[in-house]
Amino acid sequence: MKLLSQNPTSLSTPSFSIIFFFFLLFIYFSENGDAATQNKNESVPAVFVFGDSIADPGNNNNIKTIIKCNFPPYGRDFKGKIPTGRFSNGVIPSDLIAQEFGIKELLPAYLDPNLKPQDLVTGVSFASGGAGYDPLTSKVAELYGVGARRIGVLSLPPIGCVPVQRTLNGGIARGCSDFANQAAQIYNSKLQSVVDSLSKEFPDSRFVYFDIYNPLNSLIQNPPQYGFEVADKGCCGTGNLEVSILCNRLEDAATCPDASKYIFWDSYHPTEKAYKILTPKILNQNKDKLF
């Protein structure tokens, strides 16, 4: 599902907003002037996010797909214990990015039927669980053409260490899949090169690469250092395979009572606690380069 085709370019954006791609995570910056001329102390009034389920706050609730999570136990630790369609037990990176920039507490889904015009002014998430990705350069060119001048690109994580990969490809011991992790590292190296080349191609913009691989891998390899007890399975159900429709009400009895002890909520997505540790750490790597 390509939510970009929903034509976000028709939105009237403020003079200095940001776009993030999650997996790719773009922070979309639309502005009237060159990035090079912006005041580094100027506040960011809006953030727009593109990506997959990591940053989907509920777009899939309104799409014909089985990749949904608008049911318990998802949202168990969200305000009001509401399963909003976020693929976690609480808030997700798109929300935390908006908070980090001091914009708003939650970044709403673009397809939320209750979305108000004023919500668009401060940003939304176009991310969709299960979304595929078009070639980065062509998509960036499209965004640049409608005013994007500050774009943050997030790397792949250590995908070989997510619980479902351990179950399917980690052998009896359920270790990390070296093959999947090596593939992610190769991809990230090439992605970083593409981001660097985009910076040269569009010198009046800011293209910034954000590494999630190493920060998340650090959590996984050293869970007690960050206050976690479980790194190799998710909180939901057995934690080995359950995700989306497999993590449902029937799994409530088997779901862990305290998700804060777990790095992963289901077999693919981190917990709110993990996101709250990772998001500022990842942003602070290179956030200044956006300004």
Tokens of 257: 């009572």
Q: End-to-end distance of the chain based on CA atoms, in angstroms?
A: 31
Give the Cα separation of 133 and 121 in Å (integer).
26
Give the Cα separation of 179 and 186 in Å (integer).
11
Tokens of 188: 């990230």
Give the Cα separation of 245 and 207 in Å (integer).
36
DSSP 269: S
Which residues are marked as active site? 53, 266, 269
Tokens of 201: 């191609």
Residue given tokens 């808030």 in the structure block: 91
Buried (b) or exposed (e) across 207-234, using 16+ Cβ within 10 A? bbbbbbbebbbbbbeebeeeebebbbbb
Give the Cα separation of 205 and 40 in Å (integer).
14
Tokens of 71: 């049911």
